[in-house]
Copies of this chain bind each other. A is one copy, B any other.
Amino acid sequence: MSLHERERDGAAAPATATRERLLSAAIDFVAEHGVGGLTLRRLAAATDTSHRMLIYHFGSKEGLLVAVVRAVEARQREALATLDLRPGDSPADAIRGMWQRLADPALWPYERLFFELYGQALQGYPGAVPLLDGIVDEWLDRTVELAACDGVPADVARVHARLGLAVIRGLLLDLLATGDRAGADAAVEEFAARYQHGWPV
């Protein structure tokens, strides 16, 4: 066993170039085929490697899964970071912009994967659980400022942000199941419109 293989359970993996390439290919494969029936051999065959190499670079199947989960996490954070909201935007515009970005069909495979991993994490599967860390609160921390216009107190703004996040995730579930983009768009607009005209509280 090489030294490289031995340090598999270190928190931060070496992140060498080949490993990065394999990880990227793994994410694409998993986004397309799901993580349920995943086997190292099938993944290796589709990625032009051997299952030996996957274990070599990720230590174990679970190590690979953890890496994928972290990548999905990172992708989410990135999507959140690139929201790039102008301070003048109303909360309604923020919701609309967020939805516009996330409802893009090009992202659907990754969102299916997100929800599949979400479900597995809720069931406590070893590799998927880390996904739950901050899966709500991290979004709240970053979007609460969007809801905090018009001098709304911070705790109330947090409730608004929580509701907005739920709306978006709930409608994504809807959209992925039904494919009815127009219907989901209408529901988002219905929600956003209420935030256009000030707060009833």
Give the chain B neighbours of A160 by CB distance below 8 A.
190
A60 to chain B, nearest CB (A): 15
Contact B125 A115 (CB under 8 A): no
Min distance, Cβ A195 to any Cβ of chain B, angstroms: 9
Tell me which residues across on chain B come within 8 A of A174, comparing CB atoms: 136, 162, 165-166, 169
Residue A193 at the chain B interface, CB threshold 8 Å: yes
Any B CB within 8 A of the CB of A124: yes
**B163 and A118 contacting across the interface, CB-CB below 8 Å:** no
Interface stretch of the complex, out of A15-23, A48-56, A78-86, A175-183: A175-183
Decide: B115 and A119 in contact? CB cutoff 8 A: yes
Give Cα A37 to B34, complex, Å: 14
Q: How far is the CB of A25 from chain B (nearest CB, A)?
A: 18
Q: Is A145 an interface residue (CB 8 A)?
A: no
Residues of A within 8 A of B (CB): 33-37, 112-113, 115-125, 132, 135-137, 159-160, 162-163, 165-171, 173-174, 176-178, 180, 183-184, 186-187, 190-191, 193-194, 197, 200-201
User: Which 5 pairs of residues, A with B, have the shortest CB-CB distance?
Assistant: A166-B170, A170-B170, A34-B123, A116-B119, A119-B119
